[in-house]
């Protein structure tokens, strides 16, 4: 049965497929403590669904097994991908150095989008294939077999389950690392009532390496295996709906949606291999986005540009807020006019961040 499921997963484009039990994740107490001290920030859904995350039986009663799947979005031919495993300072393309001081080496009106978001929305891409695989599992299991599939949206501690299934190990940056996929892969899960023999779990292989801790621009990785989401740039630019804290804005550099710095410096990336599923879904226009063009988008233009991509989730207000911060950090004098127009935007969140950016830019120009 497992061999048949793995074969079907490969046919659907998944890069790895592993199996574990539907027992509760072993890290439940640590997750509860993390919530208790408020490190999840405004992600209230994590608290709301905590009981389900601690027990898969709360999601699918009678579940016996969990199938964990990986989809690579690595681009091994890309120059950045070849070099980033050896980068210790997390320097980014576009002239922005991402060290903890958030300093820049030159000024540019170009932004940076996290690598996973430079494709069509992975929820849709993986979802269709996970549904097909779940149907296959049910058919193979016979009458009475039931399965549920998730792509990043279900109340599961998916990295913990993936580590237990042997898909990878949770690194000191709290993300999953695969020995054959590096850091550049997405996860999906299928809970099923079928009893499938669990695969061997993976052990941590970080050793003494602390590159990810050093690379984090905002010191969000407060200790090995401990992330304060409230300081994480991915949280600040995607999950946070209100103003970005003033003290953290300079460290964001020109990142306008997510951050890859802790992933990019991991030495395990040298083993990453390109997958087939995401390769055809690349959005070339998201490689080096022009910040001034983005700042000119109205609601219709935003939807036209980003419908069907992960950036759609952040909505126009959130993205333009981030663009203003980026221009405040790296923009040149050409950005001043666009920022002044944005300071009159009907969305107060955009206007406030535009005012901040104008002050930052003017102070920098005077120097």
Look at 47-61, 101-115, 264-278, 290-304 and tell me which has the smallest mean pLDDT: 101-115
Range of the domain at 79: 2-360
Look at residue 48 and tell me whether its pLDDT is greater than 70.
Answer: yes
Residue 266 lies in a domain: yes
Q: Is residue 295 part of a domain?
A: yes
The pLDDT of residue 126 is above 50: yes
CA distance 71 to 274: 9
Structure tokens of 260?
Answer: 């890859």
Q: What confidence score (pLDDT) does residue 153 get? A: 85
pLDDT tens-place string over residues 149-173 = 999 888 999 999 999 999 999 999 9
Q: What is the mean pLDDT of residues 44-59?
A: 95
Output DSSP code: residue 92: B
Lowest mean pLDDT among 70-74, 140-144, 265-269, 350-354: 140-144
Q: Which of 98-102, 132-136, 174-178, 293-297 has the lowest mean pLDDT?
A: 98-102
Pick from 246, 240, 210: nearest CA to 226: 210
Q: What integer pLDDT is reported at residue 72 of this predicted model?
A: 97
152 catalytically annotated: yes
Helix extents (H) in 145-210? 158-165
Determine contact, residues 113/80, Cβ cutoff 8 Å. Answer: no
Alpha helix positions (H), 37-115? 44-48, 50-54, 79-83
> For 353-366, how does the pLDDT look when each residue is reduced to its tens digit (9 = 90+)?
999 999 999 998 77
Whether the predicted pLDDT of 91 surpasses 60: no
- Rounded mean pLDDT of 66-77? 90
Which residue out of 89, 152, 290, 332 is catalytically annotated?
Answer: 152
Residue 367: pLDDT band (50, 70, 90) is low
Judged against a pLDDT cut of 60, whether residue 81 lies above it is answered with no
Instruction: Work out whether the CA dihedral 265, 268, 272, 278 comes out positive or negative.
Output: negative
DSSP state of 105: S
For the stretch 208-262, pLDDT in tens is 999 999 999 999 999 999 999 999 999 999 999 999 999 999 999 999 999 999 9
Is 60 exceeded by the pLDDT of residue 79?
Answer: no
Q: What is the mean pLDDT of residues 109-121?
A: 97
- Does the pLDDT value for residue 350 go beyond 90? yes
Give the pLDDT score at 96.
36
Residue 210 lies in a domain: yes
Q: Is the CB of residue 192 less than 8 Å from the CB of residue 146?
A: yes
- Is 145 inside a domain boundary? yes
Residue 366 lies in a domain: no
Average pLDDT rounded to a whole number, residues 42-51: 94
- Nearest C-alpha neighbor of 100 from the set 206, 183, 208, 213: 213
pLDDT exceeds 90 at position 327: yes
Is 281 part of any domain? yes
Residue 171 CA to residue 173 CA, distance in Å, equals 5
365 occurs within a structural domain: no
Q: Determine the Cα–Cα distance for residues 234 and 196; give it in Å rounded to an integer.
A: 35
Structurally, the chain folds into a number of domains equal to 1
Distance CA 133, CA 345 (A): 46
Whether 93 shows a pLDDT value over 50: the answer reads no
For residue 367, tell me if it sits in a domain.
Answer: no
* φ, ψ for residue 39, nearest 5 deg: -70, -5
Q: Give the pLDDT score at 95.
A: 32
């Amino acid at each position: 049965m497992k061999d048949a499921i793995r074969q079907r997963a490969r046919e659907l484009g998944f890069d790895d497929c592993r199996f574990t039990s539907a027992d509760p994740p072993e890290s439940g107490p640590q997750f509860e403590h993390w919530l208790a001290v408020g490190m999840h920030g405004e992600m209230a859904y994590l608290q709301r669904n905590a009981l389900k995350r601690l027990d898969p039986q709360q999601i699918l009663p009678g579940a016996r097994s969990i199938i964990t799947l990986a989809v690579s979005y690595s681009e091994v031919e890309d120059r950045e991908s070849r070099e980033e495993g050896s980068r210790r300072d997390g320097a980014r393309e576009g002239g922005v150095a991402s060290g903890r001081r958030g300093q820049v080496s030159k000024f540019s009106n170009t932004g940076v989008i996290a690598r996973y978001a430079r494709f069509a929305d992975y929820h849709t891409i993986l979802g269709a294939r996970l549904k097909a695989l779940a149907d296959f599992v049910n058919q193979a299991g016979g009458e009475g077999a039931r399965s549920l599939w998730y792509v990043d949206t279900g109340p599961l501690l998916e990295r913990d389950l993936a580590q237990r299934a042997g898909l990878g190990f949770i690194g000191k940056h709290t993300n999953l690392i695969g020995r054959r996929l590096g850091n550049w892969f997405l996860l999906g899960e299928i809970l099923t009532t079928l009893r499938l023999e669990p695969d061997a779990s993976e052990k941590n292989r970080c050793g003494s390496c602390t590159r990810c801790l050093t690379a984090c621009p905002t010191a969000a990785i407060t200790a090995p295996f401990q992330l304060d989401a409230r300081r994480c740039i991915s949280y600040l630019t995607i999950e946070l709906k209100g103003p970005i804290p003033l003290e953290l804005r300079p460290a964001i550099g020109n990142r306008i949606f997510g951050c890859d710095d802790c992933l990019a410096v991991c030495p395990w990336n040298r083993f990453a291999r390109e997958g087939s599923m995401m390769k055809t879904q690349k959005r070339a226009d998201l490689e080096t986005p022009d910040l001034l063009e983005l700042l000119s988008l109205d609601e219709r233009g935003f939807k036209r540009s980003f419908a069907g991509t992960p950036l759609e989730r952040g909505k126009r207000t959130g993205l333009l807020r981030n663009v203003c911060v980026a221009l405040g950090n790296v923009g040149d004098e050409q950005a001043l006019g666009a920022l002044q127009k944005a300071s009159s935007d009907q969305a107060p969140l955009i206007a406030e961040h535009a005012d901040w950016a104008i002050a930052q830019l003017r102070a920098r120009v005077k120097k």
